Structure 1
């Protein structure tokens, strides 16, 4: 090796410093994202050590908001294989593909079919950026060893014509498979995973609304699995709201909530808030009466034909809006806010700027400390910029956003506060399934952890490993109460769970 290498002996610390200097010299975050993806494929220990050395700086580069452009341009920067692309033409070979001995240690799978990537829609095979990014966070925050994670893209084609016609596109160039063929393909995948990886945790990610709910309902009792868009988003939003009302002093059961966007994420948030209000003493009818959901066709009322299944429980009786002051026959967000006088406004619509000045000022006129969460990702799909929300409420709003904006006092309501701890706790408990109670325990725990020094509602990003550990302990304890834990009690203590968290160091 003498002569081939310079005489300098590089430590992990000096390697981190060299890569950090290279990152800061780049023109924009997309090129930083591509650089980090290349580093992950060439030196996994160094990649994770770099990420863990500065979580506030690195998380926006390896996941939201930069991962959105990473998915859109995935084929441009694809260099080396990572994870598995299970394409529809190979539907009869899934078990053979999963049999690779290199996968023997897998404990966590994140899978997507690329149809609803953040607020960007169908990205086809480019959706692989989401499982890769989520699993990087599992390692960074929950200490899951890189050899124990597996990103998977179910490549069933894409209806994004621009992707299909791109000569560099790496996916299957076919319109998206749907219906019975799609269901049979996913069934073959689940059966193969269950056979190959007993006890594996499978996280469904960025599936379109109906598929998201159908797959969760179909497989949650067959695999240790959950849907992060539905359950993770719900728990994160609920936990952050619990933290907010601890600050305002107004009980959860007295909140009036308007939800804008009732797809998979928004409906999941609404259902968890209903359960949280019931736990706070309301009956189900009273809890539902305090949540008003607005979707693309306006306020969700029970007389709207062909409501999606997840929206039916959110619908109000048209008689309840009799006598409302309206500016339009279609009851949109503004009219809903004016008449409901909400204390909480949550956005999961993917519609940039939906929380405009008239809406926000109308809310602030009837609420001393409005809680406003524009949760849509990436930044280009956020319902409002937090600086505007603070300006339009004279600084009174408690603001939480899905992506980081760099505004002091604004909370990043990011699922990374929830899903790593839920996954770690479920694995530590050797749970047979992930229950709603486990997510509620995660949300309630998050709501008690306290905020950051800048006034935001959740702990600083630097503390995400400690947050994941705390939530994991609560989730494992709830798994015991829900009678789904099979691990010995000694393996579910904080010390035991911390002991299984991997650190990025050279062996």
Structure 2
């Protein structure tokens, strides 16, 4: 499903490039932007022009006005996703604003195309209020088949996604939450199988109660994890704490069956699984107290919460967010196929069932190849996107959100 990507502006003029380009290939690659619009039909003569634009286009416009669902057949709507950010929580860079976030959104857009065959348009918003973001994106929604929210800071991201999905009848998906959660669950399924356990036998600890941590907790509970405790900077998220946000109070209601309180170290004592999405450092003494054959997913970038060399002393399987170690938890394994499947059936939303199906399909790609260094496919495994796409489309039909 890979699509060729051409940058016609990579040579942007007669000058020899900026000083940065002389030393850093990243600047050279980004010069002029990483993407462009490419026509799918030729405009070679007057006949072509009269069909592609006026007067021929009027017939199509009139037909869509009479039967709005025809927009999916005669425009790119059902094949294109908006990649929307406010630049408030960009990768490991933090709040860098809309302009500085644009290279990341362009990158996301080309990954949609390269790995899922989905066209995507980067949109960087110069607004921060939830009402403004929701209203702006809702007004843009008629042009798109789906909305991918990206790098919007917590806790605003939860409300933006919820309220936007209530406003529009196309899928809204915050990838920092759900893409991470889907790939994490897929890897954990395979790691559990490799070590002779089921998800129901595992007690997990998540370090980080932001966008990714909350979504991972939710999907693990949906998938039947034995128990999961989530920790923030102040320790275990438990119902007795009086400093919890609304999101964390909800989290406390469906996690931590054991009723643990105290610091992260307390939660890790005897735990089977560590999932790090916080960026903080976990002392080796705490890791040493985990259960035998522990599963450690230290996913902070560029510095994992637990260095892989330390993790391997105590863990049967180690995963990170980095490409230079085995078992990289990379969202690109999920979002292209999830949106491709949703667009294929014109889904009105992305359900929990669709996310679970994506995780199961992703895990199954390497189910017959499992080893300590292979519990998740490579992003370049060409089996991934078709498997996830098919599973998501089928789940959308089963959940009653497919419209074709």
- Give the TM-score band, short-chain normalised: 0.7 to 0.9
Counterpart Cα distance in 2 of 1:478 and 1:357: 41
Is the alpha carbon distance of 1:128 and 1:29 closer, same or farther for their aligned partners in structure 2, counting shifts above 3 Å?
Answer: farther
Q: Which moved more, 1:227-236 or 1:312-321?
A: 312-321
Alignment partner, residue 51 of structure 2: none
Preserved contact between residue 134 and residue 163 of structure 2 (Cα < 8 Å): no
Show the counterpart of 2:286: 359
Residue correspondence of structure 1 range 29-178 to structure 2 within 5 A: 31-38=24-31, 41=34, 105=76, 107-125=80-98, 126-144=100-118, 148-156=119-127, 177=128
Number of equivalences? 347
2:307 paired with 1:385: yes
Gaps of 5+ in 1: 1-11, 20-25, 46-103, 157-176, 279-286, 323-329, 488-507
Q: Is the 8 A contact 2:177 2:215 kept in 1?
A: yes
Of 204, 211, 228 in structure 2, the residue corresponding to residue 291 of structure 1 is 228
Give the one of 361, 380, 397 matched to 1:462. Answer: 380
Question: For the aligned residues, what is the CA RMSD?
Answer: 3.1
* Residue 216 in structure 1 maps to residue 161 in structure 2: yes
For residues 10-49 of structure 1, the C-alpha deviation after alignment (integer angstroms, 9 at most, x for no partner) is xx9xx9xxx9xxxxxx99999222222227548889xxxx
Q: Please, what TM-score do these two structures have when normalized by structure 1?
A: 0.63
Structure 1 residue aligned with 2:190: 243
Q: Distance in 2 between matches of 1:246 and 1:320?
A: 24
Q: Structure 1 residue 348 and structure 2 residue 277: aligned?
A: yes
Contact 1:452 1:460 in 2 (8 A): no
CA offsets per residue over residues 343-385 of structure 1, 9 Å max, x none? Answer: 100011122xx2331122222xx31x21101122x314x2122
1:43 and 1:119, CA in 2 relative to 1: closer, same or farther beyond 3 A? closer
State the 1:307 CA deviation: 1.0
SS at match of 1:33: helix
User: Is the contact made by 1:111 and 1:205 (CA closer than 8 Å) also made in structure 2?
Assistant: yes
Aligned to 2:294: 370
Cα displacement string for residues 361-413 of structure 1 (whole angstroms, at most 9, x for unaligned residues):
222xx31x21101122x314x212223321x32xx430111122x23xx2001
Question: Aligned in 2, Cα 1:318/1:480: closer, same or farther, shift over 3 Å?
Answer: closer
Q: Which has the higher helix share?
A: 1
| Off by >4 Å, runs of 4+ in structure 1 | 26-30, 39-45, 316-322, 451-454
Q: Distance in 2 between matches of 1:122 and 1:335?
A: 32
CA shift digits 1:125-177 (9 cap, x unpaired) = 21223221211111111122xxx321011123xxxxxxxxxxxxxxxxxxxx5
Cα deviation per residue 1:210-250 (whole Å; 9 max; x = unaligned)?
Answer: 11110111122423211111111111111110111111111
